[in-house]
Structure 1
Amino acid sequence: MKASPRQQRLLLDLQDLDNTLARLRRKRATLPEREELNGLAAEAASAREQFMAAQRELDAQTAEITRVESDVALVQQRRDRDEQLLAASTSSKEAQALQTELETLTRRQFELEDRELELMEVQERAQAAFAEAQTVLAGVDARRAAIQQQISEAEQRIDRDLASNSEERDGLAAELQRDLLGVYEDLRARIGIGAARLRGNVSEASNMALAPAELSGIRAAAPDELVFCPGTGAILVRAEDAEA
């Protein structure tokens, strides 16, 4: 295939842009913040697990206190009723029975109130543990949100560069003859590089010196004749032609 030295030079510019685009895509995919965010996942899961456990414990203690308070209220209602009945009773036998029940209810109420105090202490500790777990989780969530914001901002910057370089590439590709661009794109898809310079006797596609016979054949080719790197198969743009 033939292509003017100018067309071949454009291939080098196109390859530079493709290299830049590839570098930007790698940079976007490997932002250090992504690794930091991934590293935070285990910490976030642990913090959320501790928060949920503390919440369950607090809910359990609160429910138990509510139950005991309800029992205290019922006992108090029974005492109030028995005291009213005792005050109105005219039977000594009934009065004795009511008095005995009142004593039992009083003991039961004391027991329940003591239990309520114990539970309130436990609930206070559960509340403190819950507040601490909530603070830890909020801190992790805040750090995660900050990292995600950093990632978003970095992606936006890279995306702008990608868009700018892609637009420039499209314009440059439009200047290339179609068959030449097709060869370049096919090579780039298969071997990762479409075109490179030949500087002296070194192919920048393989970063290796060419054998004398290989170099002689390339030098003998006409300036508008496409030549290829023996090691990689990429189009070689002769440096003296590229810089002319």
Structure 2
Amino acid sequence: MKASPRQQQLLLDLQDLDTTIARLRRKRSTLPERAELEGQSGEAGEARNRFMAAQRDLDAQNAEISRIEADVQLVRQRRERDEQLIAVSTSPKEAQALQHELDTLARRQGELEDRELEIMEVQERAQAEFSAAEQVLAGVDERRAAIRAKIAEAEQRIDRDLATHTAERAGLAAELQRDLLDLYEELRGRLGIGAARLRGTVSEASNMSLTPAELSDIRSAAPDELVFCPGTGAILVRVEGE
């Protein structure tokens, strides 16, 4: 295939842009903040598990207190009813039965209130643990949010650079003859590099010096004749003065 020296130089410019674009994409996917965020995932998981366990425990204590308070209220209502009945009762037997029930209800109320005090102590400890776990989780979430903000900021910068270089690449590719561009893209997709300079005796595609015989073949080729790196197969562009 033939291509003017100008077209071949454009290939080098295109390769430089592709190298820059690839570097930016790697940089975007390997931002150090990503590793930092990933490194905190274990701490975040532990903090969330501790928070959820503390929340479940606190909810259980609150539910138990609510249940006991409801039972105490029922006992009080029953005692009030019995006291009203005993006040108007004219039957000694009925009054005795009501008094017996009142005594039983009083003991029951005392037991419930004692139990409520015990649960309130447990609830107080559960509330303290929940508050501590909530504070730890908030701190972890705050740090992770700050890291995510840094990632987003870095991504925006890189994306702007990518957009600029991608647009420049599109304009440059439009200047290349179609068959040359297709060959370059095929080589780049297969080899990872489409074109490279011949700098002195060194191919920048392989970063190795060429043999005298290889150099002789390349230098004897016409300026518009495409030559290839013996080591990699990439297009080798002879740059005037190098």
Query: Shared fold (TM-score greater than 0.5)?
Result: yes
Deviation (angstroms), 1:44: 2.2
Separation in structure 1 between the aligned mates of residue 183 and residue 86 of structure 2, nearest angstrom: 109
Identify the residue that residue 192 of structure 1 maps to in structure 2. 192
Give the partner amino acid of 1:34. Answer: R
Deviates more, 1:2-11 or 1:20-29: 2-11
Q: What root-mean-square deviation, in Å, do the aligned CA atoms of Structure 1 and Structure 2 show?
A: 1.6
Give the partner amino acid of 2:155. Answer: E
Deviations 1:73-119 (A, max 9, x none): 11112222222222223333333333332222212211111111111
Separation in structure 1 between the aligned mates of residue 230 and residue 220 of structure 2, nearest angstrom: 15
Identify the residue that residue 38 of structure 1 maps to in structure 2. 38
Number of aligned residue pairs: give it: 242
Deviations 1:42-99 (A, max 9, x none): 3222222222221111111111111111111111122222222222233333333333
Identify the residue that residue 24 of structure 2 maps to in structure 1. 24
Give the partner amino acid of 2:33. Answer: E
Give the partner amino acid of 2:100. Answer: T
Give the partner amino acid of 2:7. Answer: Q
Identify the residue that residue 106 of structure 2 maps to in structure 1. 106
Identify the residue that residue 148 of structure 2 maps to in structure 1. 148
Separation in structure 2 between the aligned mates of residue 82 and residue 8 of structure 1, nearest angstrom: 106
Separation in structure 2 between the aligned mates of residue 7 and residue 93 of structure 1, nearest angstrom: 118
Identify the residue that residue 4 of structure 1 maps to in structure 2. 4
Extract unaligned runs of 5+ from structure 1: none
Deviation (angstroms), 1:143: 2.2
Extract unaligned runs of 5+ from structure 2: none
Separation in structure 2 between the aligned mates of residue 181 and residue 71 of structure 1, nearest angstrom: 84
Give the partner amino acid of 2:22. Answer: A
Deviation (angstroms), 1:126: 1.2
Deviates more, 1:51-60 or 1:76-85: 76-85
Identify the residue that residue 225 of structure 1 maps to in structure 2. 225
Deviation (angstroms), 1:168: 1.0
1:129 aligns with 2:129: yes
Deviations 1:146-180 (A, max 9, x none): 22222111111111101100111111112222222
Runs of 4+ in 1 over 6 A off after TM superposition: none
Identify the residue that residue 95 of structure 1 maps to in structure 2. 95
Give the partner amino acid of 1:60. Answer: A
Separation in structure 2 between the aligned mates of residue 182 and residue 112 of structure 1, nearest angstrom: 86
